[in-house]
Structure 1
Amino acid sequence: MQKLNFPQYSFRFKNSENRTMAFDEIRKKFIVLTPEEWVRLHVVQFLIKEHNYPRNLMNVEKQIKLNNTTKRYDVVVYNNDGTVFMIVECKAPNVAITQMTFDQIARYNLSLNAQYLMVTNGLEHYFCQMDFENKCYIFLEGVPSR
């Protein structure tokens, strides 16, 4: 897999039916290793190891309902009270981060109401704080503190 703009982390791999699988410590299972999954695995480790986000307050790849359609978010980090602290949208490294990516995470946030957003393709990372009063987001220099 491609080297990403994250520190190097160790992952558990196995082969199954001619596919490489990686262990996701949040979902507690092996998943097919795709380029987007590679980014998602790194994001989780980055938040846990570099920024001390508690793994027990993270959720990965869960469904949400948006306007009668079912979508899946990549990573959600919760506050201790169960409210959503941050949503992370992951793209494969070969996918450019565009306004469409920010529109996607903003739609998810209509139902999740996160205080912070992170968008990454593993090479570029963007962090935003929501300004609910003015219905916009403010770009941040780095990962929000917990």
Structure 2
Amino acid sequence: MIKIEYPPYQPRIKKENDTEFIFDAVRKRWVVLTPEEWVRQNFLEYLIQVKKYPPSLLAVEKEIRLGDLKKRFDIVVYDVHSKPWMIIECKEMNVSLNRQVLDQALRYNITMQVPYLVITNGSYCMAFQCTDGTLNELQAIPART
């Protein structure tokens, strides 16, 4: 597992009618602040500030089709040619990073066909490279291409 060292981050949070919202700088809108959203926003900041992934190459909670099902991925990183390059599945902090979480990312990859998968619960993450139908665990999140 990879321990995440987050950069300093001051999220924009507001409260309306007993509901907290956090500003998503990638989507450029306010979203309900859930435990999973907290992980997603902090991980986005990690990708942008630490890994130097350009925000313009990130997509958050976009819909994809898996057969007849409509699903939403958490984060997809695109390469410079606008081709999906990495799928990131976020879970709230109390969720274990297990095979079930990895299988969810693998299902999304049936459609997306990316070379890298990451699963995270905010504290830790696991990164994998998909090569010729084989999944290899990585010791670090890949540098952006």
Q: TM-score, normalised by structure 1?
A: 0.93
Give the letter for the 2:141 counterpart: V
What residue in structure 2 maps to residue 141 of structure 1?
139
User: Aligned-pair distance for 1:7?
Assistant: 3.2
What residue in structure 1 maps to residue 21 of structure 2?
21
User: Aligned-pair distance for 1:6?
Assistant: 2.7
What residue in structure 2 maps to residue 127 of structure 1?
127
State the alpha-carbon separation in 2 of the partners of residues 45 and 129 from structure 1: 22
Q: How many residues align?
A: 141
Q: Is the alpha carbon distance of 1:20 and 1:5 closer, same or farther for their aligned partners in structure 2, counting shifts above 3 Å?
A: farther
User: Aligned-pair distance for 1:137?
Assistant: 1.2
Alignment map for 1:1-146 (pairs within 5 Å): 6-131=6-131, 133=132, 135-146=133-144
State the alpha-carbon separation in 2 of the partners of residues 23 and 44 from structure 1: 12
State the alpha-carbon separation in 1 of the partners of residues 7 and 126 from structure 2: 17
State the alpha-carbon separation in 1 of the partners of residues 97 and 125 from structure 2: 9
Which runs of 5 or more structure 1 residues have no equivalent in the other structure? Answer: none
Q: SS at the partner of 1:30?
A: strand
Which runs of 5 or more structure 2 residues have no equivalent in the other structure? Answer: none
Structure 1 residue ranges (4+ consecutive) displaced by more than 4 angstroms after TM superposition: none
State the alpha-carbon separation in 2 of the partners of residues 13 and 145 from structure 1: 30
Give the letter for the 2:137 counterpart: F
Kept in 2: contact 1:5–1:122 (CA 8 A): no
Q: Is the alpha carbon distance of 1:39 and 1:25 closer, same or farther for their aligned partners in structure 2, counting shifts above 3 Å?
A: same
State the alpha-carbon separation in 2 of the partners of residues 7 and 53 from structure 1: 14
Kept in 1: contact 2:86–2:116 (CA 8 A): yes
